[in-house]
């Protein structure tokens, strides 16, 4: 399924501690835990039918931008988030090791 990333809206669902996108009854997510000014990204999930459209990167970028805006440090427990930060050095300054 081909998706136009520009038409997608990332929603911050703070009650569920995740960022999410709603697409045709499916929901890619970025789960996190927040404690003492540190946001730990624990899981990025994109339904198989939606993979290959850059949705994981879109939702991780939104989460990292949120963390930077709030002045949080980031622990990337999720391997996808970890690799994203390695490939986008502009987020290195907010990264801390677990």
Q: What is the token pair recorded at 55?
A: 């949705």
pLDDT in tens, 70-93: 999 999 999 999 999 999 999 999
DSSP H helical segments within 1-98, as ranges?
A: 55-70, 79-87
pLDDT in tens, 6-65: 789 999 999 999 999 999 899 999 999 999 999 999 999 999 999 999 999 999 999 999
> pTM for the complete prediction?
0.93
What domains, with CATH codes, occur in the chain?
5-94 (3.40.630.30)
Nearest CA to 76 among 55, 46, 96, 91?
96
Query: What is d(CA 34, CA 14) in angstroms, rounded to the nearest whole number?
Result: 10
- Structural contact between residues 23 and 49, judged by C-beta atoms closer than 8 angstroms: no
DSSP bridge pairs for 13 = 18
Q: What is the token pair recorded at 49?
A: 């039918």
């Amino acid at each position: 399924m081909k998706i136009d990333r520009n038409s997608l809206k990332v929603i911050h669902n703070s009650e569920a501690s995740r960022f999410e996108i709603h697409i045709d009854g499916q929901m890619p997510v970025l789960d996190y835990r927040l404690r003492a000014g540190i946001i730990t990204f624990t899981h990025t999930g994109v339904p198989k039918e939606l993979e290959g459209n850059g949705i994981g990167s879109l939702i991780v970028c939104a989460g990292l931008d949120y963390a930077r805006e709030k002045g949080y440090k980031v622990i990337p427990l999720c391997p996808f988030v970890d690799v994203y930060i390695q490939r986008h050095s502009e987020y290195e300054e907010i990264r801390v090791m677990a």
